[in-house]
Amino acid sequence: MNDNSNTNCVEAFRKVIDDYSYHSDEFANKPLPNITFFLGAGFSRAWDSGMPLGKSLFKINTDKIRDSYFLKNFIRYCNYDEKDILSYNDVTTLYYRLQLMQKHSFLHGRFWDEVSLKNVEIELRLYYLKKISEGLNGAFANEDGHFVGFKQNEDIYHFFDDVINEITEGEQGPDGFRVNFLTTNYDFVIENILDQLLSGDLPYYSYLYRGFTPSLVNGTNEYILPQENELTYPLIKLNGGLEIYWNDGLYSLEYRKPNYSQKTIPELVLPCQNQIYDSEYFKMIFPKAVRILQESNILFVVGYSFPKEDFLLRILLKQFADSPRDSRYKKIFYVDFAERKGELYLKNKIRDVFPDFDNNIFVYTSGFKKYAKEFIKLKSRYEI
């Protein structure tokens, strides 16, 4: 049963790309279709199985915070000081308590205040910045802005190459369709792919709109604004990213290796019992993500498990199809690794968020790496 479902998922998306292609006349005098890729942790794992992802990423080794004075004392204050390793659940409780104390001054107790609590958060974010960066094994941008150190995956690269090759620049903007990227990941995997696909006379980030206009990218402001480039690809990071920094009232992007300074802490959503997205960054990007989803014809989900704790993100995804009518003409593709649990398991995850979808759900249970390999075997109808 899984084999038939997998084949249908690959063939159906190949047909979508062919129908939407600039070679096709089907949408010649209609609004451009939109395809949105929603990328979860399984996407980065498909690219490189060694990527530091999952709940284990957020465990805290207390031996590695000896020099983090405020964080170390806050852990002791929360009665976790006897643990060598703080589990994911420990961290969600710890961070929730920190957020409550920051929000309500009457919870400060005798010896905590706004300054010391802010330092706890800075040291916590710095800990994760170091941990995640070390797990990337040097996969940062070089001084020219291009990514180095990444393991390469030719099948996944060619999958996106095949998709983007069906878009071209017309007289009044792009012809074919628009491609958007929403991701819950902190890392640079999708930027690494787009660097290879898009960089030419202009760097790849000249073709990306991040939901905000950065003041600097890798230390320079010499890049093309998205309004000046018709072939622009929105890339919205819903949990923040290692490259997103707040400097003097503006956000910048820095893909080069960080210097781990307390003055440069990236915008990251950390695990919490009650996620709070209240920074200026999220106030900017969420309206953009909502519009992208509402305008999308195709939602292609890779490696996202729809966890119950991602309550806000599940509501956000619902914007893709918040009416029964949407399920008649919109389509959802869902690729994840679930060979033992089967296609019904993946379909039920989709229906938990989109209960009106039935016939227009296509699932693939053998992971994105294998999906990409199968997809690129199917030639475009315009190549045959």
Q: What is the span of the domain harbouring residue 90? A: 55-135
Residues 151 and 259 both lie in one domain: yes
Residues 47 and 61 both lie in one domain: no
Compare 163 and 257 and report the one with higher pLDDT: 163
What CA–CA distance (Å, rounded) separates 102 from 121?
Answer: 10
Determine contact, residues 194/134, Cβ cutoff 8 Å. Answer: no
pLDDT, position 59: 92
Compare 125 and 264 and report the one with higher pLDDT: 125
Residues 32 and 101 both lie in one domain: no
Last residue of a domain, one of 96, 115, 135: 135
Residues 115 and 156 both lie in one domain: no
Distances 95 to 75, 92, 131 between C-alpha atoms, Å: 10, 5, 17
Distances 24 to 27, 31, 166, 257 between C-alpha atoms, Å: 7, 14, 10, 43
At 128 the three-state DSSP class reads helix
287 pLDDT higher than 60: yes
pLDDT, position 227: 66
Last residue of a domain, one of 108, 135, 162: 135
Summarised one tens digit per residue, pLDDT across range 336-378 is 999 889 999 999 999 999 998 888 999 999 999 999 999 999 9
Q: Tell me whether residue 243 is in a domain.
A: yes
Last residue of a domain, one of 102, 135, 168: 135
Percent of the chain having pLDDT more than 70?
93
Question: Domain count of the chain?
Answer: 2
pLDDT, position 377: 94
Residues 99 and 218 both lie in one domain: no
Percentage helix, strand, coil, to 5, in the chain?
A: 40, 15, 40
pLDDT, position 286: 96
What CA–CA distance (Å, rounded) separates 290 from 74?
Answer: 37
Q: Tell me whether residue 79 is in a domain.
A: yes
pLDDT, position 66: 85
b/e per residue 258-288 (b: at least 16 CB within 10 A):
beeeeeebbbbbbbbeebebeeebbeebbeb
174 pLDDT higher than 90: no
pLDDT, position 171: 59
pLDDT, position 158: 95
Summarised one tens digit per residue, pLDDT across range 46-65 is 998 877 667 888 999 999 99
Q: Tell me whether residue 90 is in a domain.
A: yes
* Sheet strands side by side (includes 266-268): 250-253, 240-247, 266-268
CATH code of the domain covering residue 200: 3.40.50.1220
Mean pLDDT of all residues belonging to the chain:
88
Q: Tell me whether residue 115 is in a domain.
A: yes
Residues 225 and 88 both lie in one domain: no
C-alpha dihedral (90, 96, 98, 103), degrees to nearest 10: -170
pLDDT, position 262: 60
Residues 237 and 354 both lie in one domain: yes
270 pLDDT higher than 60: yes
Determine contact, residues 129/267, Cβ cutoff 8 Å. Answer: no
Paired with 217 in beta bridges are 220, 253
Percent of the chain having pLDDT more than 90?
54
What CA–CA distance (Å, rounded) separates 160 from 198?
Answer: 11
Rg of the Cα atoms in the chain: 22
pLDDT, position 246: 84
Q: Tell me whether residue 382 is in a domain.
A: no
Compare 53 and 157 and report the one with higher pLDDT: 157
pLDDT, position 172: 61
pLDDT, position 46: 92
- Going by the DSSP 8-state scheme, the letter that residue 307 receives in this structure is -
Q: Tell me whether residue 344 is in a domain.
A: yes
Summarised one tens digit per residue, pLDDT across range 100-151 is 999 999 999 889 999 999 999 999 999 998 888 887 776 788 888 888 777 7
pLDDT, position 370: 96
DSSP letters for 344-363:
HHHHHHHHHH-TT-STTEEE
Residues 252 and 153 both lie in one domain: yes
Q: Tell me whether residue 140 is in a domain.
A: no
Compare 165 and 260 and report the one with higher pLDDT: 165
pLDDT, position 327: 87
* Other beta carbons less than 10 A from residue 115's beta carbon: 8
Compare 379 and 64 and report the one with higher pLDDT: 64
Residues 116 and 166 both lie in one domain: no
Residues 209 and 224 both lie in one domain: yes
Residues 113 and 230 both lie in one domain: no
Tokens (6 digits) for 30? 């209609």
Residues 160 and 203 both lie in one domain: yes
Summarised one tens digit per residue, pLDDT across range 300-335 is 999 999 988 888 999 999 999 988 888 889 999 999
- This prediction's pTM: 0.92
pLDDT, position 145: 81
Phi, psi of 362 (to 5 degrees): -125, 125
1 pLDDT higher than 60: no
pLDDT category of residue 28 using cuts at 50, 70 and 90: low
Q: Tell me whether residue 142 is in a domain.
A: no
